[in-house]
Each structure stands twice: as structure tokens, then as C-alpha cells.
Amino acid sequence: MIIGIGSDLSDIRRIEASLQRFGDRFTHRVFTDIERARSERKPGPAASYAKRFAAKEACAKALGTGMRDGVFWRDMGVVNMRSGQPTMALTGGALVRLHEITPPGMKPVIHLSLTDDHPYAQAFVIIEALPADAPA
């Protein structure tokens, strides 16, 4: 059962300008340690940061809150499964909201697709609820 859908398009040039203007102040306010480490390993990290920025926006939309009601930037982080497939790890207000929208007896699964083609980065999030006893 799908309980949330969100998408976002981010302009890589805008993220690059924020990186140049605000540097660590921007990255530490918006991105998790894992996201910063992964993005900084890339040559020209703006595209990587832009995909993660879009993922946060898409996830907030899928949660039905946007960036309000206790949901903050760093409550949502892009992480990779062992297979390399990206997903979202939620904490704080985002995790609380995820539990609020998940029906009783179900477990949430967050699907994430990321792409970029300069000058844009795009993310698409689907939050699915599966029976709690379904295999992971």
C-alpha cells in the first residue's frame, strides 16, 4: 500500500552558489554527516548535494508535511543499502511523522530514485506500507 509520494527538482547551480556563499554553514544545516562525506568524495560535489537536497524535499512531500510540523532537513538523510540502492534514513520529527502515517500492523519502506543531468537533479520518493511480518 502506498502511503506517500513526493518528487522534487533541484537546480545544481543554485546548490553550487549556496556552497560557495555559505560553505559549511549550509552543508551542516541541511545535510547529515553521511551525506556530507559521500558528497565531498565526488569531484565537484554540487550535483551530489543537489540530489540529496531534492531527496529531502521529495521525502518531506511524501510525509505530507513539507519542512514544517517538526520535520527538519537533517531528520532525513540519503543512505545506501548494501546493494548500493539509495533510500532514506529518518530521525526526529520525520521519523515521528512516518510512524503517524503508517497503518497499525504495517511497516514502512521508503523507495528513492535519484538522477541528475546538469543543471538539474531530481528525486522521487514512494513510502510503502507492508505487513509487519513481510520479509525485509
Binding residues for Mg(2+): 8, 57
Residues 6+ apart with CB under 8 A from 15: 46, 49, 50, 53, 121
Annotated binding site: 8, 57
Closest of 52, 86, 58 to residue 71, by C-alpha:
58
51: left (phi over 0), alpha (psi -120 to 50) or beta: alpha
Closest of 21, 12, 76 to residue 49, by C-alpha:
12
Element (H, E) at 35: helix 33-40
